[in-house]
Amino acid sequence: MSDMERKGDKERHISHSQINMLLKCGIQYQFRYINGIVAPPSASLVRGKCGHKTLEKNFRQKIESKTDLPVEEIKDTFSDEWEKSKYEIVWKKKEIGDLSPAKAGGVFKDSGIALVGKFHENLSPLIQPVAVEDKFEIHFEGNHPKLIGFIDREDEGGEIGEVKFVGKSPSANDAQSDIQLTIYDLGYRTKHGKPPKKLKKQYAVNTKEPKTVVQEVGCRDDATINRLMWRIQAAMTALDKGVFLPAPAGSWWCGENWCGYWDRCNYRP
């Protein structure tokens, strides 16, 4: 869920997901946030959303209990979340293949159950959260919208944790170059008046045998924070001027299997 879709924030604001979409493809941003057309999610996106909700349930109660839920309860929670969300899916060719929607749905559900189970067994015991989906706001000078975000998880010792459900192992420098983690870092500083001790990306990877991967880095340096601010400024300028440029020709994200607005886009290849 994007930050704009969360309820209760009626002031002008922007989020990481909006900035990322705007700078990757302004036409996609225009469809979503100017015209209000919400693209239906892919099966992979729904699986990730259900996985996040499942782990969030465990980590919210663990703040007080200090104890993880049983793994079978975690798997049952994912199953329930999937059954509630599966009807949102619009199947992509690369996801459904030659299967019927019902059979493809079963494959994705089973893989999601395996992923949350593997994450819960491998990584949950190592995590003691102090906050989950913790909101922050960053205000800018001038008539710019505020930046709103929700840190996935804050752990003991001033550590930030972000969970991803992915189809392949991440690149070695994924956490180091992740702009979302940079925004979390900035949001943490805004809330607490000091940088976090550590930034962590924790992955549940849908390989033949599900696995988990952890990448940990220190807080962002000043140069990285400054580059983020330049990126935000570029997004703000584009919004102020109403400039919405299409994705560069040949971009991997400009394709039928990746963009939910492909069928209605006049700028596609």
Q: What is the pLDDT of residue 185?
A: 96
CA 43, CA 206: separation in Å to the nearest integer? Answer: 13
Q: How many domains does the chain have?
A: 1
Long-range contacts: 29-35, Cβ < 8 Å, 24+? 29/244, 30/244, 31/261, 31/264, 31/265, 32/261, 33/4, 34/244
Residue 5 lies in a domain: no
Q: Which residues contact 182 (CB under 8 A, 6 or more apart)?
A: 220, 224, 225, 228
pTM of the model: 0.88
Burial (Cβ within 10 Å: 0-12, 13-18, ≥19) of residue 239: buried
Instruction: Please report, for residues 7, 8, 14, the alpha-carbon distance to residue 11 in angstroms, rounded to integers and kept in the order given.
Output: 11, 9, 10
3-state DSSP percent of the chain in helix, strand and coil, to 5: 50, 15, 35
Decide if 10 is inside a domain.
no
**Domain assignment of residue 235, yes or no:** no
Cα separation, 149 vs 234, in Å, equals 18
Whether 203 shows a pLDDT value over 60: the answer reads: yes
Interatomic CA distance for residues 166 and 164, integer angstroms = 6
**Rounded Cα distance, 141 and 144, in Å:** 7
How distant, in Å, are the alpha carbons of 11, 61, 62, 163 from that of 65?
36, 6, 5, 21
| CA torsion, ordered 114, 118, 120, 121, to nearest 10 deg | 130
Alpha helices in 127-258 (DSSP H): 174-177, 179-192, 222-241
User: Residue 194 domain-assigned?
Assistant: yes
Domain assignment present for residue 159? The answer is: yes
Condensed to tens digits (0 to 9), the pLDDT of residues 30-51 reads 999 999 999 889 999 999 999 9
CATH number of residue 57's parent domain: 3.90.320
Let me know if residue 90 belongs to a domain: yes
For the segment 127-183, what is each residue's pLDDT rounded down to a tens digit? 999 999 999 998 887 777 889 999 999 999 999 999 999 999 999 999 999 999 999
Residue range of the domain that includes 56 = 42-220
pLDDT at 6: 38
| Amino acid present at 89 | I
> pLDDT tens digits, residue range 85-134?
999 998 888 899 999 999 999 999 999 999 999 999 999 999 999 999 99
Query: How many other C-beta atoms can be found within 10 angstroms of the C-beta atom of residue 11?
Result: 8
For residue 238, being part of any structural domain is answered with no
Look at 3-12, 14-23, 32-41, 193-202 and tell me which has the smallest mean pLDDT: 3-12
Does some domain include residue 12? no
